[in-house]
Structure formats: C-alpha cells, structure tokens
Amino acid sequence: MANSVPHLPDELARYHRQMLLPDFGVAGQRKLGARAALIVGCGALGCLAAELLARAGVGHLIIVDRDLVELTNLQRQTLFDEHDAAEGTPKAIAATQRLGRINSAIRITPIVADLTPGNVESLMRVHGSDSGVIELGARESARFVEVVVDCTDNFQTRYLINDACVKHHVPLVYAGVVGVSGMLMTIRPGAGPCLRCLFPEAPAPGTTPTCDTAGVLGPLVGMAASMQAVEAMKVLLGREDLCSTTLTEIGPWHNRFREIALDNARRVGDDDPCPCCVRRRFEHLDAVNPESATLCGTRSVQITPGHSPAHRLDLSEVARRLAPHGAFVATPHLVRGAFFREQETESNNPITLTIFPDARAIVGGTTDAAVARSILARYLGV
C-alpha cells in the first residue's frame, strides 16, 4: 500500500485525517493501537461499533457473539452479506473476516459463544494468542480490556456485563435500540451510576419488546452504534473526562432527543444502596450459569434460567407477543406453539417453544443449546 502521507510512518499514514483531530495526533494514535476493546454482541450495534473502532485503529478487538448470520440480519447488520447468510456463518467469524479486510494491521479475536457468568471475566482479559481459541483459565493475562461495548439484545447479558465491569473497574458503553427509539449510557465504575442504579431489576422475560418482535429502524442503530464508538474512543484515549454523563434517549423517527441528567443517580444512600456498585454484591455474575439440557430422544433443549425472574411470567402477554411469529396458545400453566417456517432448523423441523411461568423453557426442533438461547433472547428478551 502506497503511503500518501510521507511525513508519517507507514503504519500511521492511514489514520492521517483522524490524527489531525485534537486529542489524537501521533501519541493518541499509538495509544489507540495499544488498547483493547471487548464488543459483546455482533448484531446491528456490534457490527457498526466494531467497524468504526477497527477503522480508527484500536489495536485489539475481541468480538463475542453466539448467533449465525441470517437473511433478516442484512437490513442493518453492516458487516454481513448474502453469502454469509446463505452459509450460516457465525457472526463473530463473518465480522472478523470482513474487518480483517478493512484493517489488517489490528488484531481481532472472534469468540463464538454465549457470554455467561462462567466466562465473562475471562473474555474481558486480553489474551496473548491470536488463534481466537480461548481456553478458560489457561494463561490468563492480568490485564483487562480498556473498555467493554455492550451491543447485546437481552437483559440477562446486560446485567452480567454491568456486574463484571463494575467489579473490575472497566468502563462500559451501553446502548439499547428497539423499534424507533434507543438509549445510550457510558458507565464509569466508581465515577457515576451503573446500570443497576438506574434499573435495579431486569424486566420480566417477555414483557419488553425486542427487535424480533417490534422491529428496528436500521439508521437508528447506526446512530446509537456511532455514539458508542465515540464514547469508547474517548475512554481508550484516556479522555474519560469527555465521556457523556447523561442517559441519552434517541428517537430520530419522531425527532425526539433527550439527555437525562444522572448527577444524583448513583444510589449511594443508606436506605437503598445499589447492590452492585455500592454494596459490591455481584448477583448476576455470581449466579449459576443458565442451565441447558438436551432432552433425551426429543430433539429439544430445556433452558432453566440461572437467575430467577422477580415476577412470574404473564403467560397471556407472552402469547400475545409471540402471536405474529407463530401459532401459540396460553394455558394457565404454560405457553406453547411453533414458529412459522422462517424459523427452521437444518433438518427443516419447525422450532417449537414451550415456556413456563418461572421462565423455564423448552425449545424443540434443535439440539443446539446456543440456538435455543438465541430464540429466547430474540422473542422474549431473556
């Protein structure tokens, strides 16, 4: 590649327009190149956040995602194409292949896995191996990534990431988008509120819309992911003082944008202290892993939540949310039914779902626990 900026060393020339900015320059660019970021979730938010950070020259990106690329992802998940969807390539792998063509000078480690209480702290550490294979517990570095970017689609994982980041004092850039509105917050452990200061408990499974049930506006995701990338870059450059200290709501479809001040939002008071960042009880991190078991002879997977929901599920509400996606019925004891044919497995069996009031679920038509957990995240937000 020809160096079109002769006064810069070859490895920095590509970043010339960025290095003209205040806070960057040669020193800032080299700092970015020495930093690592963990991106959890490589859907629409994760694709763009990862691409922007890769193009900016962040030295090491670790990308965690459990899902495979599907045709319905292509409307907004900018790192994937029709070939990836036809092949059913894991998102973390497809993203890494694409990002490697965008910037071959940085390290990218794809992790095709669920983020769980058992692996989150290990995945937050910077590993020496380029292979992408992380053996839990083996040769763990003492160094954590400098920032975590939360691009997940479910509350269980968000609270888990919040616990891990607060525990290890790693800044976290959170964003959530669904329908035509999104929300963004930068969590700097110790310096401001954490997720649980604002939202003490996760909503009950099936009570909140997800992108798969309510849809999502593609450009909105781009806005939220771009803002996440900016916040992450501030952290990586050591300019945390510039980070947003508000909860930002973005609603471009109705031209609604709002900054909610968080000056007094950290729950430090004796009457109702935050269990996570004040009392330092990491309930989601200490929970047992959500248990999955392949049910013998039935070609189905049972998922038992590791952290029981605060309320029993409203089964009729769950059935109502699932109705556009399949034929489901609610009885007093469970909801069950089958998804329409877009949700097919490799053997063309329809995916069936049975869910109980305590959020235990049986996903039929697959023996793959990751597929089963993905179905629950997409349709029930758990």
Q: How far is the CB of 276 from Zn ion (least distance, A)?
A: 5
Which three-class secondary structure state does DSSP give residue 247? Answer: strand
Q: How far is the CB of 121 from Zn ion (least distance, A)?
A: 18
CA angle at 36 for the pair 229 and 154, rounded to the nearest 5°: 55
Q: Which is nearer to Zn ion, 145 or 165 (CB)?
A: 165
Number of other residues whose CB lies within 10 A of the CB of residue 135? 11
As given in the structure block, the two tokens for residue 136 are 């839990």
Q: Which is nearer to Zn ion, 78 or 162 (CB)?
A: 162
Which chain residues interact with Zn ion by CB under 5 A? 194, 196-197, 274, 276-277
Q: Can you give the length of the chain in residues?
A: 382
Q: How far is the CB of 204 from Zn ion (least distance, A)?
A: 21
The distance from CA 9 to its chain's CA centroid, rounded to whole angstroms, is 35
Q: Annotated catalytic, 47? A: no
Work out the burial of residue 69: count CB atoms within 10 Å of its CB; fewer than 13 is exposed, 13-18 middle, 19 or more buried.
buried
Which three-class secondary structure state does DSSP give residue 130? Answer: coil
**3-state SS record for 297-331:** CCCEEEEECCCCCCCCCCHHHHHHHHHHHEEEEEC
Q: Which is nearer to Zn ion, 113 or 265 (CB)?
A: 265
User: Which helix (H) or strand (E) is 373 found in, with range?
Assistant: helix 369-380
Q: How far is the CB of 332 from Zn ion (least distance, A)?
A: 38
Q: Which is nearer to Zn ion, 21 or 268 (CB)?
A: 268
Q: How far is the CB of 267 from Zn ion (least distance, A)?
A: 6
> How far is Cα 35 from Cα 238, in angstroms, rounded to an integer?
10
Q: Which is nearer to Zn ion, 170 or 236 (CB)?
A: 170
Q: How far is the CB of 286 from Zn ion (least distance, A)?
A: 16
As given in the structure block, the two tokens for residue 135 are 């053996």
Assess contact for 303 and 373: CB atoms under 8 A: yes
Q: What are the DSSP calls for 175-230, one per residue? A: EEEEBTEEEEEEE-BTTB--HHHH--SPPPTTSS--HHHH-B-HHHHHHHHHHHHH
Q: Which of 197, 211, 274, 277 is catalytic?
A: 211
Q: Which is nearer to Zn ion, 265 or 338 (CB)?
A: 265
Residues with catalytic function: 211
